[in-house]
Structure formats: C-alpha cells, structure tokens
Amino acid sequence: MDKLHTLYTLIDLGGTFAFAVSGAAAAKQKGLDVLGILVVAFTVACGGGIIRDLCIGDIPPAGLSDWRYLVVSMTAALITIGITPLNRLLAGPVLLFDALGLSLFAVSGAEKALGFRHNYEVAILIGMVTAVGGGVIRDIFLNRIPAIFEKEIYASAALLGAIVVVAGNYLELPDAWVFPIGFLVCFLLRILALKYHWKLPSFSDKKN
C-alpha cells in the first residue's frame, strides 16, 4: 500500500463508506437481520475492491487485511441501521451515496492498477470493475437484474472517471489535480443522468 499515497487511501475509504451505506440501506429494506445487513454492507463496500485486488495481484485483498475497511464499512452500516428517522431521509441520499461510491472507486481502482504497474487497459477496466462491482454483487444477492444494466448512465460514468485518471497519468499531471477531476466527471455525469433521466439508447425488439 505504500506505493500509493494518502489521498488514494482517503478516496478508497470514502468509497467504502458510501457503498456500505447504500448496501446497508438496501439490506435493511429487504428485512434482513443485523448480521445479514452487516455482511451485505461489507460485501457491497469491499466486493469491488476485492475483485480488483485479485485481478491486479494484491494478495490478500486490502478489504480483508486492512482493518480500516472493516471499521469504516461497519460504522457506516451501524449508522444506517441505528438512526431510523435519519434512515427515512435516506431514500434520495442512497442514490447520492451510491454515486459518491461509484466516483470514488472509479478513481481509486484505476489509480491502484497503475500503482501495480499494469497497462492502461487494465487500469481503465479495473477502475470500472471496482466502481460497479459492489453494486452488481448487491443486486445478485438481493436476486434482481443488476441495476447497472438497466438504469440511467452508470457504468459509462465510471468508465469516464477511470479514463480521466489514466489520461492524467499518461500526461504526467499531478494526482492532486487528476483525482478530483476524475471524481467530478463521474459524479456530475451520474447525478445529472439521475436528475434528467439520461439513458443510453436501447433497442426496440424487447419482447419479455
């Protein structure tokens, strides 16, 4: 982890917090018990990162070996469970936290792959996988078609965020500029897509 600096860690833990909130809220809504909620929150928060670490060769995955990921995701889940009136306010914010996690992980995933000296294609694909992985696992657990395949612009936003990080690395721009720009590109695109229901085109021969 010392190949990567503090800003990276903050971004990765921020994404963990955001996705743990979204996972805990979804699991609570499904009526799971306390440990079920904690497990789903942890899996959503750390699942994308664990897939990332298996693919880039960081063994054991940071989500399992670094206590901060466990503490951050459990804290986020307990806050989400505990404060019921606050939870009622979270219907909108769940999508907000999801968008936050998406943008933070797109940046941190691409950056970590570059830090392990993999090529640009790996960095872009891993950035997207890290960002959308947790949400896909959440939807598979809750037995529905992963929302990323049907909803407003989602994976495309993560893809763009990861591309910004890789482009910044190629142009040797300082991370303190590149990371916020990558984050903002992904975050704003996702939020605007939610607000204005932007969708990519699909095809009319849908039968079922």
Interaction site with a second copy (CB under 8 A): 27-36, 39-40, 50, 54-57, 59-61, 64-65, 67, 70, 81, 84, 87, 113, 118-119, 121-122, 125-126, 136, 140-146, 148-150, 153, 155-156, 159, 199-203, 205-208
- Kindly tell me which of 86 and 177 has the beta carbon lying closer to a second copy: 86
Sign of CA dihedral 20, 79, 100, 175: negative
In this structure, how many other beta carbons lie within 10 angstroms of the beta carbon of residue 151? 15
Give me the least distance between CB of 100 and a second copy, in Å please.
Answer: 21
Nearer to a second copy, 89 or 176 (CB): 89
170-172-177 Cα angle (round to 5): 110
**CA count, 13 A, side-chain hemisphere, 138:** 29
How far apart are the C-alpha atoms of 99 and 146, rounded to whole Å?
15
Helices (H), 91-174: 91-115, 120-141, 155-170
- 65 versus 170: smaller Cβ distance to a second copy: 65
* CA 54 vs CA 57, 58, 59, 157: distances in Å: 5, 6, 7, 23
The minimum distance between CB 76 and a second copy, in angstroms, equals 16
Smallest distance from the beta carbon of 137 to a second copy, in angstroms?
Answer: 10
> Which of 5/30 has CB closer to a second copy?
30
CB of 178 to a second copy, least distance (A): 22
Residue among 117 and 195 whose Cβ is closer to a second copy: 117
Instruction: Determine contact, residues 107/162, Cβ cutoff 8 Å.
Output: yes
We find the least distance from the C-beta atom of residue 29 to a second copy, in angstroms, to be: 7
Question: Least distance from C-beta 204 to a second copy, angstroms?
Answer: 9
How far does the chain reach from its first CA to its final CA, in angstroms? Answer: 47
Output 6 or 208, the one with its CB closest to a second copy: 208
